[in-house]
Every structure is written in C-alpha cells, then in structure tokens.
Amino acid sequence: MERDMVKREGCLLEALVSAALSGGDTRSGTPLAYRRALITGATSGIGRAFAEVLPPTTDLLLVGRNPAALAEVERKLARPGRTIETVEADLADEASVATVVARGDAFGIDLLINNAGVGRLGAVVSNPPASERNAVAVNVMAVVLLTRGLVPGMIARARGDRRRAGLIILASTAAFGPVPYFTTYAASKAFDLSFAEGVAEELRGQPIDVLALCPGATRSQFGARAGFSGGNLPGALDPHTVARQGLAALGRHRVKVTGIDQAYLNPALLPRCVATRVLGGVMRAVVDRMAAGSPPAAPPSRSRSVRG
C-alpha cells in the first residue's frame, strides 16, 4: 500500500517535472556506426545498456569505479577482433577525469557518452555536504572537463576520416525545472541539458552530432542509490530501450526525452513557481515516507544515504 503510494507520487513527479525542447532533424537514415566509444558509468543501468546495444564493430573504453564490474562487462562484450579497454576512475576527482581524457584521446574515440550520474534524495541543508558536492562534481564538472578535453580531438579525427563523431550527455526529465528535495541533482541535470544544447549550437557545421538525452524513470540502480525505496517506478523503461532511443536520436535531435509523453512537459501547463510548490509537496511526502520506513536506528532527518 505504502509502496504503491510512493510509486504513484513518483509517477506524478515524472509528469510534473520539466519541459522539452527539440531541435530539428539534422540527419536522416539509420544510426551512425561509430568506431570507438567512451562510456562513463558503464558498469550499471543506462551506461551498461549503451555498451550492450552498440554493435560489436564499435570498440569500447568503459569507465567506472568498480574494477570487478568493469571486468565483468568487458568479459561479456568481448568478441574476436573487438578492442575493449577499461578505466577505473572516480569522476568526482579531477585528476581521475584528466586520466580518462588522456585514455580517451589515446583510444581515438569518435563517440563520447557522458552517462555517469548520481543524486541524493533529501533537503539540501540536511544532506551531507560531500554528497551535494559529489553530485555537482560527477554530473557537472566531469561532464564539462570530459567534453572540453575530448571533443576537439574527436572533431579533428572525424574531419580527417570524413566521418561524423557523436556526443551524448545524460540529462533527465528532472532537468526542466526545480525538484525540491532532489534539488542539487535536478539543478545539475538542468546544467547538463543547457550545456549540451549550447555546445550543439557552438558546433553547428562541425562533423559531430550532440544530444542531450533526458530519460524519465528508467530501471536501474539509480533510485536505490539516491535513497528512493520501493523499487523502480511503474512504467519505468528498460535501460536498453533508453540507450537505443538515444543512439537513434543522435544526429536527428538535440534533445531526446524518453519514457514520458512530451505533452506533459509543456512549461505552459503550470507556472514554474506553482509547479515547484506542488512538486515540493509531493517530494516532501516522499521523503517523509522514506524516513518513516527507515530502520529505528536511522537518524530522524529528511535525507537518506546513497552509495558512493
């Protein structure tokens, strides 16, 4: 019963959050074949799904923090003639991000998927400062540094080979407006969306396609890690569907929303301040329910722990 209520609130959350802007077609035909892809957060969820749905003709550079999980994905996707390398890196650490840039350049990538992301349910002033910093470091800073560090080389190689490169940045339906009690996460995703759209315009005319991929609820470890209990939201998409839709949209659109009807995302539906107030009430109820469901020893705060 309680779980159903949380799920319903989650659905409403997804329906209330955001507004979608879609660029016009920039390419027609089937998804491009990429030679070498770098995927961050390739050990789980959508990132792993990207690794699995890319064709075996695409070599992979997989990034994550968990060496055993990286090795497992590498083993599963290995094929004769296919190169798969892994980089163990914490993207919250700038020195590690620099290592990933160097490895990506040396690998000669033509597809960069900035996928890794984290969030933490709870009020900004209640959450541990480290978790708020972590969300900004991984969702914002690492995305900027990887994009700035790798895209110039990708464009140069694409021009030399007379091909096109690709850049996908994972935003979210939470990118389209404030989400109280998930504030830092939603703000970081708003950055990702705006950043991707801005970079796409700056690179207009260059041999690279840029996409902000904005998933709605997707089955992965994300929710549990962020402190939501009750499992995945009803209607949550399979991560492989999200990855496939993202790859299909790359080069056709600048923004792709998955898992939710774009009609719900019209900002004219509700004034922003009203939407924020309504969503704040929904999210506060969710946080209170999570806190009520905590083991007795848990601190009585409006926040929950997230792994990592």
Residues that bind ligand NAP (CB under 6 A): 40-41, 43-47, 64-66, 69, 90-92, 115-118, 138, 170, 172, 215, 217-218, 220-222, 225, 308
Minimum Å distance from CB 84 to ligand NAP? 16
- Residue 126 or 241: the one with the smaller Cβ distance to ligand NAP is 241
Minimum Å distance from CB 138 to ligand NAP? 5
- Residue 58 or 188: the one with the smaller Cβ distance to ligand NAP is 188
- Residue 158 or 190: the one with the smaller Cβ distance to ligand NAP is 190
- Residue 45 or 104: the one with the smaller Cβ distance to ligand NAP is 45
Pair 135, 176: CB distance under 8 Å: no
- Residue 46 or 121: the one with the smaller Cβ distance to ligand NAP is 46
What tokens appear for 15 in the block?
Answer: 């329906």
Pair 215, 228: CB distance under 8 Å: no
Minimum Å distance from CB 217 to ligand NAP? 5
Minimum Å distance from CB 247 to ligand NAP? 14
Minimum Å distance from CB 130 to ligand NAP? 12
User: What is the CA 242 to chain-centroid distance, rounded?
Assistant: 11
